[in-house]
Each structure stands twice: as C-alpha cells, then as structure tokens.
Structure 1
Amino acid sequence: MIVKNNFYIITGGPGSGKTTLLNELRKNGCNCVPETARNIIREQVEAGGRALPWGDTRAYSDLMLFRSVLDFINLKDREDIYFFDRGIPDTYGYEVLMGFNIGDVLKNAVEQYRYNPLVFILPPWREIYETDSERKQDFRTAIDTYKVMMEVYKDLGYIPVEVPLLPVSERADFVIRELK
C-alpha cells in the first residue's frame, strides 16, 4: 500500500466547479493534477474511439482507472501538496453509478493507492451547471454522481468535506484553510 498524505482529491458530480476550483488553486501556486476523464473524451473523439461515457462505458472506465493510477505513480515520490481533479476512487464511484460489478483490479487499486483521508467534495450547483461537448450528463446525473461519490469515499475510509457554494476564490480559501 502506498499512502500519500500530501495528495488531496477534489471530487463531486459533473459541473459542480471542480476544474474551476483547481484552476484557482493553481493560480495561487498550488500543484494540481487535471482530470483524466476529459482528456480521455477528447482523445477518443479525435481518434474516433468508443471508450466514451456515451459509448463503451466499460472501456472508458478502464482508461480512467489506468490514467488515474499512472498520475498517482508518476507523482508518488513528490513531497509537495498536490490537488487531484478526481482520483482513483472516482472510477470506483463511476462503476457503482453505472451498475458495473466492481472488478478485482479496481478493488486492489483503491486499496493500494491511498490519498489523504480528507477529500473535498463539491455539491451539485444548478446555477453554475452547464453541459458541453464533453459533459453531456443532465443535472439529475450530477446529483446522483455527488451522492454516489459521497458514499463511495466514506465506504473506502475517506472523510468527505463538502466545499460550500461560494465564489471560486472563497472556495479555494476554504480548501486551504481545511488543510490547516
């Protein structure tokens, strides 16, 4: 097992402001790791691939797991604080949401690669929710994803801390304060 207490996950449903918050933290000098899902979607669309949330969801989930583990391993020797736009347990949550049987590879990954127990979760926020070419889920799915992520992280031994619905600079301040 590899435990990295300097790795913090920022999670939540789609369209809750995760990437915006990570960008704000980055502007404030924090180390941030981008979400793998959007990169996968872009790559698959460009290549005409099927590993997409509206295509081959199993292949999409497998790619998310692979890329999330790779991000973790590539940074495992770093001692600075890093914020991750989602983490390995998010793939677990995605598979729960999709009704998949959770395979041994995923179970082992969430046990083997551990982040700081404190996880920042952003609740659904209708006023900022938007769809785009990569986020096609409706707001109901955002709510369902949030609920699943909250439960999955708790079940995996993490402590979810809900980030309040505030302007992005105040959300970033909240996250930084919680680290202390």
Structure 2
Amino acid sequence: MPGRVHAPVRSVVTGGPGTGKSTLLEELARRGIATETEVARAILQAPGGMALRARDPAGFARAMFEAELAAWHGAQRRDGPTVFDRGFPDIAGFLALEGLPVPPEIADACRDLRYDGPVFRAPPWQAIYRPDAQRIQDWDAALASDAAVTAAWRTYRYEPIDLPLADVSDRADFVLARL
C-alpha cells in the first residue's frame, strides 16, 4: 500500500533461566539478525549487581526496566527485526516471583510498549540447565521462574510460542521461519 510505513519487528525469547535463550540469540546474531542481550545478566555481572539483586529486588527490577526501556527504544531505530533476550513482562514476572507489586511505569510499559513480533518461550529443559555465577536458582526455582514470567506475558495479552527442545540450529530455523 503506498505511503504505508512498516514498523520494525520487535520479537522476544522468554522463559526461565538456563533454557538456551542466550545461546539462541547468539546463533540468530551469527545469522545476521539484530539482537538485544539479557539486561538482567548484564546487571548481575556488573560490580554490585548480585548484591543489588539480593538486598533490593525492587531496585534490581528498576535497573532492569531502565535498561530494557533503552534497548526497546534503540530497536525502533533499526530496519528489520530485533530479537530480545527477555522483555518488559519478564520484569513483571520477576516482581511477582518476589512477592512485590508491579510499579505503574513497568505495568504501563508492559501494556503500551508492545513487541510486534512473535514472543517465543524457551520451555524448561533440565538436560541443558546449568547453574552459574549469575544463574543461582536450583531446578525447582527455575521452574517457578518460568511459570511466573509465562503468566506475566499472558497477563499482558501475549501468547508465547514454545520453542522446540532441539539443538540451537533447529531452534534458530524455527524462529526465523516465524519472523
């Protein structure tokens, strides 16, 4: 249609910890797709990040929100799709898991700053789950995290599409076929 401007596609890979999200985004980037890395992991790897997460979960959520907001706006300036490692509803899911309320600005972002591409869920996959310095949850906590973030995405009217339990190449093919 003449004069129609196509908005960039902002897609997301969500799910609990250790489900292969970051590995999948690395593969998508290798294939030429713009990606945004997980903001929570970047915060946790920074000096004081683990302490912030432990002593002030609401402050940690605020830091994730600010970083996610910058990434979301940055993706608007790109041509073509951008795939995010998590998104605003993941922050709401984290807060729910912590028993904390979702602040209005985060709820507003979840409702109003829409991801316009598919939201892919990397389901729990015990065979690949490995704790590390930032991924401190045991398997049961990882399952609870997945349930909380998946519920948050649905609360904000997204229908996540489960990724297959397959190697990273097959998962990347699955995502690319749907972008």
TM-score of the two chains, using structure 2 as the length reference = 0.90
What are the Cα deviations for residues 24-67 of structure 1, in whole angstroms up to 9, with x where unaligned? 1111111111000111011133xx77322x33211111100111
User: What code does the residue aligned with 1:16 have?
Assistant: T
What corresponds to 2:61 in structure 1? Answer: 61
Identity of aligned residues (%): 33
What corresponds to 1:123 in structure 2? Answer: 123
List runs of 5+ in structure 2 lacking aligned partners. Answer: 1-6
Task: Choose from 12, 22, 25 the match for 2:25.
Answer: 22
- For residue 159 of structure 1, give the secondary structure of its aligned residue in structure 2: coil
CA positional deviation for 1:90: 0.8
- For residue 120 of structure 1, give the secondary structure of its aligned residue in structure 2: strand
Contact 2:12 2:117 in 1 (8 A): no
- For residue 161 of structure 2, give the secondary structure of its aligned residue in structure 1: strand
- After superposition, residues 1-180 of structure 1 pair within 5 angstroms as 6-45=9-48, 50-52=51-53, 54-116=54-116, 118-179=118-179
TM-score of the two chains, using structure 1 as the length reference = 0.90
Q: Which has the higher strand share?
A: 1
Contact 2:93 2:152 in 1 (8 A): yes
**RMSD between aligned alpha carbons?**
1.8
User: What code does the residue aligned with 1:118 have?
Assistant: P
What are the Cα deviations for residues 80-127 of structure 1, in whole angstroms up to 9, with x where unaligned? 100000111110111111111111111112123110252100011111
Looking at structure 2, the residues matched to 75 and 174 of structure 1 have their Cα atoms a distance apart, in angstroms, of 22
Looking at structure 2, the residues matched to 134 and 29 of structure 1 have their Cα atoms a distance apart, in angstroms, of 28
User: What code does the residue aligned with 1:17 have?
Assistant: G
